[in-house]
Chain A
Amino acid sequence: AQKVTQAQTEISVVEKEDVTLDCVYETRDTTYYLFWYKQPPSGELVFLIRRNSFDEQNEISGRYSWNFQKSTSSFNFTITASQVVDSAVYFCALSEVANAGKSTFGDGTTLTVKP
């Protein structure tokens, strides 16, 4: 069975601070995909990044960066120089290759960025 753990329930930072959201996953599959989504107060899910299990290269996109470490089954997400607009719930998710779109979600981390 697949499992995604986001140990941090809530994080509060002051604007311009860097913040890292942790994600640890469990799966028996050798091939899988990992995702991060952002859910602002409006409720829609915004896709941020997808990583497949064969690609451990870290990625940077603007103020966002992701660190995928297969050895520790972790896929952490860092926001650099946080902004108030980053305040949202962030979900890490895991998906089997064979079932495109079917994902197991972590419990989410609520990030509050204070001005």
Chain B
Amino acid sequence: SAVISQKPSRDICQRGTSLTIQCQVDSQVTMMFWYRQQPGQSLTLIATANQGSEATYESGFVIDKFPISRPNLTFSTLTVSNMSPEDSSIYLCSAPKHQFTNEAFFGQGTRLTVV
């Protein structure tokens, strides 16, 4: 079973700056997923990060705003670029526990506040 470590757990950032969130899985996984949870709302998938290829972004999310790296099968980063207060959210990464069961592990989340 995969365990996911995500950091930082929280940060307060100035508008116009960028923050990179790291996600480490303790076993190799083909796909990793990045979600955003705006205050009081549900989780929305940002993108799917595949090792060795560009991330696949969901509607409403673009690479320039949320660049993603996936250098190997156990690690991924999500950068929130040129931040504004509207980017204040919890960002979570997830990875499947098993390829054929769709059960996913989630990181602890990064609580981002942009001021």
Contact = CB atoms under 8 A, between A and B. Distances in A.
Contacts of B97: 101
Contact of A100 (B43, B44, B90, B98): B98
Given A101-B31, A101-B33, A91 B42 contact: yes
A102 interface: yes
Nearest to B30: A100
Contacts of A106: 42
Contacts of B33: 101-102
A44 B101 contact: no
Interface size bracket, B side: 20 to 34
Nearest to A50: B103
A105 to B, nearest CB: 4
B42 A105 contact: yes
Interface in B31-84: 31-33, 41-45, 48
B109 A44 contact: yes
Interface string B72-115: 00000000000000000010101111111111111011010000
21 contacts: A44-B106, A44-B109, A47-B103, A47-B104, A47-B105, A47-B106, A52-B101, A91-B43, A93-B43, A95-B104, A97-B100, A100-B96, A100-B98, A100-B101, A100-B102, A100-B104, A102-B31, A105-B43, A105-B44, A106-B42, A107-B41
